[in-house]
Structure 1
């Protein structure tokens, strides 16, 4: 069945759609932290549909909210009053910690970042954008234009003039090995030099607190706050892309930006809040959000159906303090991965339930040559052991580990054992 479906997929969908595994699987159903394929095989899910199944598969509260709403009305658009959308926006504004927050809901993180770029460039009357090297912000024309990772940027054409600065990752940085304070100082100096060359007419700086597609990389805590001091001296807006880091996934904070000692001007979000429903959005102070001088709507953003499901999901997350669970479960996984001591593990990094394992070719020094072939082999070995993990990084050599935030202690131990065995299996 999967062979037939793969052939049909390749026949009608674009060739550039990436699909995992030598023998791809069709995920047919899920429950909690597990999914089953069409052949009845059961997997522990340590990737959550790219960090999107945030709480649990088939979460009863979300299922019921969606079913109840579908029985009333599925769609209306933002041209009409929409109670679920308003209730969700109110809840998001409350937890955002953005002063006088307003929320614009979109169907995806790509559209959320599009909207943030529109707001920032309108306010600043500039199309110049600062971004981090190794970054990823979406698949639209504008978000590809500010993506600093060649693996996900198929065109050099752009509606923006983009400048890339250091700071998105330490392991392969030219500043690698510096103590955190010196690393931050070096990155701030680089930022200032870039700004001096632009003439200062920059609309915004956009950054993921932990780079997702880039391989769960980041600079030290406090880096983005140090950047913010420089940016605000020049009136430049800071957009925090929380599509993957938001909602408590890092364990220590609800938002990734909170580790940096300053508050961004705009926050974008998506993925986890919908728990699989198409939901994203932008949070900004009213002065920024209300700045567009023309009409604007969203046909699908904040639909009654997705808003009802996302609100139920967010309530479950808060009521069960899943951020605390991420803080509890993450260190056991992190420490277990660090303890492997394998010559193919170059780096283990991340926070909470957002962990990256960078694989390298043995004997190639430090930081080591990227080993995408080993990452692919580990992915397959995990699958054989009933574990789903992700893959990323500029070179495709980083394992991405991001289970639902309701992960139990037994499931964490089970997943860690499978992952360790898979790494040991492929180690030369």
Structure 2
């Protein structure tokens, strides 16, 4: 028997003797009989319930009592309240969930969202990592020739899923070599392991020291693409381009260099040293890489005595064989693809298929990829998306004195014949002479 029960009964016996004690006995009996009920009521009291409720349920109860808007929390999640001026406000609406980048479409092996090299927006870092995208030195270089179709060739090749090319002409091996190979690599595009990296700078063709630099800094096994066309037509196109640049500079001034970073005095000194070395190499090689413009094309290519101005880059760049021989000193013939630019303009498909085989990518281009623009008078891309070269391409040529044209053709004739002997292939523009 418990001590509490024993004492209660003892008090009840005493209560029989005195009335005050009887009152006490009644209270004790009440406690004895309703002991369990009182304990249960104590455990189920409202105060105890508040303590045991989770914090977000109590906060919900307060909101209801205060007649405030209620936001219920999902199960198994934490609930956060926003306070402004110590008053509870509705939580902000959930942000719209970003759509995941597709990884199973036709561009799933690409590092950029568009195939066109002029609109190069990289995919997210997560996808780049998943696809193995990285920057690496070029597998192929389009080194020239200026105004022979290099831009069109690169633009078309950019639509091949296994080819990626830099948008800008980087001019690293001719005028930005002082910036170092890290700068060059940083300005090249991301590429998957399957893709071939390409860079195009037409002036590489005529700079004397560029073949050696490419061989040393990239690889002796890098592929070289050279596209040539009728040297007379190329010279006219070169003049029109340079003359337009001259007139634009008079109005707009010198255009800002978008690629070369701000240089410290030390880097400026290094650039000047490289310029002096390049100038010495150009003079030693007997080359003329700077265009000299007269008032007309005729004044630019023929002097007062009626002789062709060999020292003008507009003329010198068309002596293809002299420059190609310098490239052959560093790269074997089977690593150099020489494209007939006039054949490329008339029908790009066979040439692009030739390039695919040369650089080692899958067959992609067919006639379905192109259409002929009647207004611009050259071929444009029809698929995978419609794309065409800008208006600055295909500039109208001026009427040239027939005597000057004949003089230029006679000037180039022996060099063209030599070109056939060195390269082992014929060229479309040489049909004007029966010897070819």
- When Rg is computed on C-alpha atoms for both structures, the one with the higher figure is 2
Higher helix share: 2
TM-score normalised over the length of structure 1 = 0.24
TM, length-normalised to structure 2:
0.23
Higher strand fraction (1 or 2): 1
